Structure 1
Amino acid sequence: MEDELTDYTNRFRTSFELTHRKISQSVLSELNSELTAPQLFMLAMIAKENSPKQSQLADKLGVKPSAITVMIDRLVQSGHVIRKHHETDRRIVLVENTAEGAAVLAKAHEVQKNVITRGLSQLPPDELHIFVNAFEKFTSFY
Structure 2
Amino acid sequence: MDGDKVKAFIHRYEEVYFFAAKRVTAIVTEKVLEDITIEQYQILRYITMFPNCQATMLAEMCGVNKSAISAMIERLVQKGFVERMRDEKDRRNVFLESTAKGRGVYEKGEQQIQKFVSSYLTELSEEEIDTFLTVFEKISASMAMKERGNER
Quick check: TM above 0.5?
yes
Structure 1 position 116, deviation (Å): 1.1
Helix, strand or coil for the counterpart of 1:84?
A: strand
2:119 is aligned with 1:118: yes
Q: What is the CA distance between 1:67 and its match in structure 2?
A: 1.3
1:118 deviates by 2.9
Corresponding residue pairs, total: 137
> In structure 2, what is the Cα distance between the partners aligned to 1:54 and 1:46?
9
> Is residue 45 from structure 1 mapped to residue 42 from structure 2 by the alignment?
no
RMSD across aligned positions (CA): 2.1
1:83 aligns with 2:84: yes
Give the 5 Å matches for 1:88-107. 88-107=89-108
Residues 69 and 5 from structure 1, CA distance in 2 versus in 1: closer, same or farther, beyond 3 angstroms? closer
Counterpart of 1:138 (choices 121, 131, 135) is 135
User: Quick one: structure 1 residues 7 and 53, their matched pair in 2 at CA, closer, same or farther if it must change by over 3 Å?
Assistant: same
What TM-score do the two structures reach when normalised by structure 2?
A: 0.77
TM-score, normalised with respect to structure 1? 0.82
Q: Is the 8 A contact 2:82 2:96 kept in 1?
A: yes
Q: 1:29-40 counterparts in 2 under 5 A? A: 29-40=30-41
Aligned-partner Cα distance in 1 for 2:89–2:22: 42
The residue type equivalent to 2:41 in the other structure is: L
Unaligned runs of 5+ in 1: none
Matched-pair contact (CA < 8 Å) for 1:27–1:115: no
